[in-house]
């Protein structure tokens, strides 16, 4: 993926994030706040799981371009996945950030962060939404 | 001024985060190294030459601090780890026993966390009440508003001399005069004021003053608690241990040393104190008035340029401190900070530890630039060039 495409994807999801609002019937959703202690990103994530499948996700809050776009792309990619699939996907994304072997195909637009490791201070921004959602997914299983 | 004294400035950075911490001149680093290399011993203990020298230098640093803030006596200067520790010592060692249920502490919405949480904690443990002085339209403190907020139960006013987000200077002397006429103590958080302008505790007449070495060219991990002697005598040590006791046989027979050592348990930050003493010499060799004047001219220079940029929302067009807080419309402050970072310009984005300020100004996060005497107009020019180009910012912020 070239630099221009990366930038385009990130800015597109930053300027027009999907599902960025508090869901209408929020009592049907599980809620988690995720924030970055070393900066000021602060996201609320709402997720609806039924029969082990992620039915819906929304988010709200204030965060930088990287966190916001990453959250939007994450939501796009996770809706419809089973919990197991979602965790695999997240693991894969994390491997990419950590420069470990990963499967490119499943990540689609999330590949826009494939060289974010070069900016150490932004790596956590990209991962922040995943950190939040994992808290819910891990709890769900137990 | 004096750029060549600062090794960090040889690293091709523009450092505009001086409200967070300042750079250190070579003179301070050399002085600290000198301690570690040439007379590295503990203070107050040994009977050998280098320990004697350590002791002398440590106490000389205390005397430098005394003179710097014009305290009456050297016993009134307690070395701490910084403003935060100093304020917590005052809250827990003095006001905890002095304040009774429903006694009132006055602070403001624009205080730093370190001048909020010790008092909130006291409210939770002691039953006293933290109240807020209303701020004026600019979010500044006026004597009028202090008078309005004071009640017969007010026992303490705790204020920053200069605040760390808006950079406004408070009329501390007038407030103290009024407070003392009503039997109210005044605690001054000097973290942002002491480094930037002459501070005279006798003239201000505050009861306690806290400040940090690292914000005034000194090392991290050293700070000062000043208190009027008769009040410090009443301040209970939070830390007990070596260096502060006279004798002890059993729990009923504890004898503590006199001030200031009673409040400095354990091996102190010797290198830090000596470094702070050197930082004070350094600042005074330039002159605090000159520093203050120069910073004001820098601020004016920057503001005159910033107000011409239409998409900026400046939180404090008028302010005494060398701090400017602003937002770029439609761009998250942190993204702007990352953009500037690509050009080696260090600025801070966030709430700047003033988390309750958002209730007052209605803005959660902002960018903050803060100057010190080693900043230059040409650095400001470089910064303005980048801020002036919003399209570039949007492309390069990620
Ligand atoms: C106004 C104010 N008070 C207190 C502090 C706390 O200082 P320190 O972290 O050195 O204890 C700061 C530092 O950011 C400050 O700006």
Identify the domain boundary among B252, B285, B318: B285
pLDDT reported for residue B352: 67
B137/B237 same-domain check: yes
Identify the domain boundary among B285, B310, B325: B285
pLDDT mean across residues, chain A: 91
B129/B73 same-domain check: yes
How large is the ipTM? 0.77
Asked if A99 reaches chain B (Cβ–Cβ under 8 Å), the answer is: no
- Residue B51 domain flag: yes
Q: CB of B89 within 8 A of CB of B263?
A: yes
B247/B258 same-domain check: yes
Asked if B357 reaches chain A (Cβ–Cβ under 8 Å), the answer is: no
Which protein residues touch ligand 1 with a CB less than 6 Å away?
B 19, 82-84, 112, 114-115, 160, 164, 189, 191-192, 212, 353
Question: How confident is the model over B155-166, as pLDDT tens digits?
Answer: 999 999 999 999
Identify the domain boundary among B285, B315, B348: B285
Which of B154-163, B255-264, B376-385 is the least confident region? B255-264
B279/B295 same-domain check: no
Tally Cβ neighbours within 10 Å of residue A105. Answer: 8
pLDDT reported for residue B65: 98
Question: How confident is the model over B182-201, as pLDDT tens digits?
Answer: 999 999 999 999 999 999 99
| Smallest CA separation from ligand 1 atom 16, residue | B164
Q: How many domains does chain A have?
A: 1
Which residues of chain B does A66 touch, with a Cβ-Cβ cutoff of 8 Å?
Answer: 398
B373/B228 same-domain check: no
Structural domain of A127: 3-141
Residue A141 has pLDDT above 70, yes or no: no
- Residue B21 domain flag: no
> How far apart are alpha carbons B311 and B320 in whole angstroms?
24
Mean pLDDT value of segment B266-273? 96
Structural domain of B192: 27-285
Confidence at B75, pLDDT banded by 50, 70, 90? very high
Residue A36 has pLDDT above 80, yes or no: no
B149/B231 same-domain check: yes
Question: How confident is the model over B322-369, as pLDDT tens digits?
Answer: 999 999 998 999 999 999 999 999 999 987 666 677 777 777 789 999
Mean pLDDT value of segment A27-46? 87
Q: What is the largest CA-CA distance in chain A?
A: 42
CATH number of the domain where residue A47 is located: 3.90.1010.10
Distance A26 CA to ligand 1 centre (A): 39
Which of A36-40, A73-77, B247-251 is the least confident region? A36-40
Residues B7, B9, B15, B17: what is their CA dihedral angle, to the nearest 10 degrees? 20
Q: What long-range pairs does B233-237 form, CB within 8 A, spacing at least 24?
A: B233/B259, B234/B94, B234/B98, B235/B89, B235/B90, B235/B93, B235/B94, B235/B263, B236/B93, B236/B94, B236/B97, B237/B93, B237/B262, B237/B263, B237/B265
Asked if B338 reaches chain A (Cβ–Cβ under 8 Å), the answer is: yes
Nearest-atom index, ligand 1, CA of B82:
11
pLDDT reported for residue A101: 94
Q: How many domains does chain B have?
A: 2
| Smallest CA separation from ligand 1 atom 14, residue | B20
B291/B281 same-domain check: no
Residue B243 has pLDDT above 60, yes or no: yes
Q: What is the largest CA-CA distance in chain B?
A: 73
Asked if A106 reaches chain B (Cβ–Cβ under 8 Å), the answer is: no
Q: Indicate if B353 belongs to the active site.
A: yes
Confidence at B248, pLDDT banded by 50, 70, 90? confident
Tokens 């937002």 belong to: B327
Half-sphere exposure of B273 (CA within 13 A, CB side): 26
Which residues 6+ apart lie within 8 Å of B253 measured at CB? Answer: B247
Q: How many CB pairs under 8 A join A and B?
A: 35
B67/B207 same-domain check: yes
B306/B205 same-domain check: no
Which residues of chain B does A128 touch, with a Cβ-Cβ cutoff of 8 Å?
Answer: none
pLDDT reported for residue B47: 82
Residue A45: phi, psi to the nearest 5? -120, 135
- Residue B253 domain flag: yes
The residue to mutate among B87, B107, B164, having the most atoms of ligand 1 within 8 angstroms of its beta carbon, is B164
Q: Do A64 and B365 touch (CB under 8 A)?
A: no
B216/B318 same-domain check: no
Question: How confident is the model over A60-83, as pLDDT tens digits?
Answer: 998 899 999 999 999 999 999 999
Distance B190 CA to ligand 1 centre (A): 8
In this complex, the residue of A10, A40, A66 whose CB is nearest that of residue B351 is: A40
CATH number of the domain where residue B181 is located: 3.40.640.10
Confidence at B255, pLDDT banded by 50, 70, 90? confident
- Residue B22 domain flag: no
B245/B109 same-domain check: yes
pLDDT reported for residue B245: 86
Distance B215 CA to ligand 1 centre (A): 8
Q: Give the H/E segment covering residue B170.
A: none
Q: Do A40 and B333 touch (CB under 8 A)?
A: yes
Q: State pTM to two decimals.
A: 0.90
Asked if A90 reaches chain B (Cβ–Cβ under 8 Å), the answer is: no
Residue A39 has pLDDT above 80, yes or no: no
Q: Do B334 and A41 touch (CB under 8 A)?
A: yes
Which residues of chain A does B365 touch, with a Cβ-Cβ cutoff of 8 Å?
Answer: 40, 62
Asked if A122 reaches chain B (Cβ–Cβ under 8 Å), the answer is: yes
B55/B147 same-domain check: yes
């Amino acid at each position: 993926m070239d630099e221009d495409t990366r930038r385009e994807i990130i800015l597109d999801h930053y300027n027009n994030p999907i599902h960025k609002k508090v869901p209408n019937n929020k009592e049907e959703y599980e809620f988690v706040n995720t924030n970055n202690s070393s900066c000021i990103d602060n996201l609320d994530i709402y997720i609806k799981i039924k029969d082990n499948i992620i039915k819906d996700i929304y988010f709200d809050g204030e965060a930088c371009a990287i966190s916001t776009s990453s959250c939007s792309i994450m939501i796009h990619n996770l809706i419809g996945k089973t919990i197991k699939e979602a965790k695999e996907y997240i693991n894969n994304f994390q491997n990419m950030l950590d420069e470990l072997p990963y499967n490119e195909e499943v990540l689609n637009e999330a590949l826009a962060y494939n060289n974010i490791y070069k900016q150490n201070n932004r790596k956590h921004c990209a991962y922040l939404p995943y950190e939040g959602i994992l808290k819910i997914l891990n709890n769900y299983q137990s | 001024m004096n750029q060549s004294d600062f090794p960090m400035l040889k690293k091709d950075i523009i450092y505009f985060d001086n409200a967070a911490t300042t750079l250190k001149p070579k003179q301070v680093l050399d002085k600290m190294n000198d301690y570690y290399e040439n007379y590295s011993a503990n203070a107050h203990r040994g009977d050998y030459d280098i320990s004697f020298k350590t002791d002398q230098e440590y106490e000389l640093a205390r005397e430098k601090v005394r003179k710097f803030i014009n305290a009456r006596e050297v016993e009134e200067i307690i070395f701490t780890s910084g403003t935060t520790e100093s304020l917590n010592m005052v809250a827990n060692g003095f006001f905890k026993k002095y304040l009774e249920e429903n006694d009132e502490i006055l602070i403001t919405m624009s205080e730093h966390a370190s001048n909020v949480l010790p008092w909130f904690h006291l409210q939770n443990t002691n039953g006293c009440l933290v109240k807020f002085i209303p701020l004026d339209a600019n979010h500044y403190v006026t004597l009028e508003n202090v008078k309005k907020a004071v009640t017969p139960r007010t026992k303490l006013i705790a204020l920053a001399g200069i605040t760390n987000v808006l950079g406004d200077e408070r009329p501390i002397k007038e407030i103290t005069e009024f407070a003392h006429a009503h039997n109210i103590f005044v605690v001054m958080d000097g973290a942002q004021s002491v480094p930037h302008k002459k501070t005279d505790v006798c003239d201000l007449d505050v009861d306690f003053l806290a400040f940090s070495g690292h914000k005034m060219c000194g090392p991290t991990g050293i700070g000062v608690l000043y208190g009027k002697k008769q009040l410090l005598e009443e301040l209970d040590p939070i830390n007990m241990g070596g260096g502060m006791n006279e004798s002890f046989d059993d729990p009923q027979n504890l004898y503590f040393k006199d001030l200031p050592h009673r409040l400095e348990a354990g091996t102190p930050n010797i290198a830090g104190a000596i470094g702070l003493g050197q930082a004070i010499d350094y600042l005074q060799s330039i002159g605090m008035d000159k520093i203050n004047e120069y910073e004001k001219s820098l601020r004016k220079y920057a503001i005159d340029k910033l107000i011409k940029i239409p998409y900026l929302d400046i939180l404090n067009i008028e302010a005494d401190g060398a701090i400017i807080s602003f937002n770029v419309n439609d761009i998250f402050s942190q993204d702007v900070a990352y953009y500037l970072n690509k050009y080696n310009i260090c600025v801070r984005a966030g709430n700047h530890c003033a988390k309750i300020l958002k209730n007052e100004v209605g803005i959660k996060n902002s960018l903050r630039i803060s100057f010190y005497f080693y900043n230059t107009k040409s650095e400001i020019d470089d910064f303005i060039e980048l801020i002036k180009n919003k399209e570039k910012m949007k492309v390069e912020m990620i």
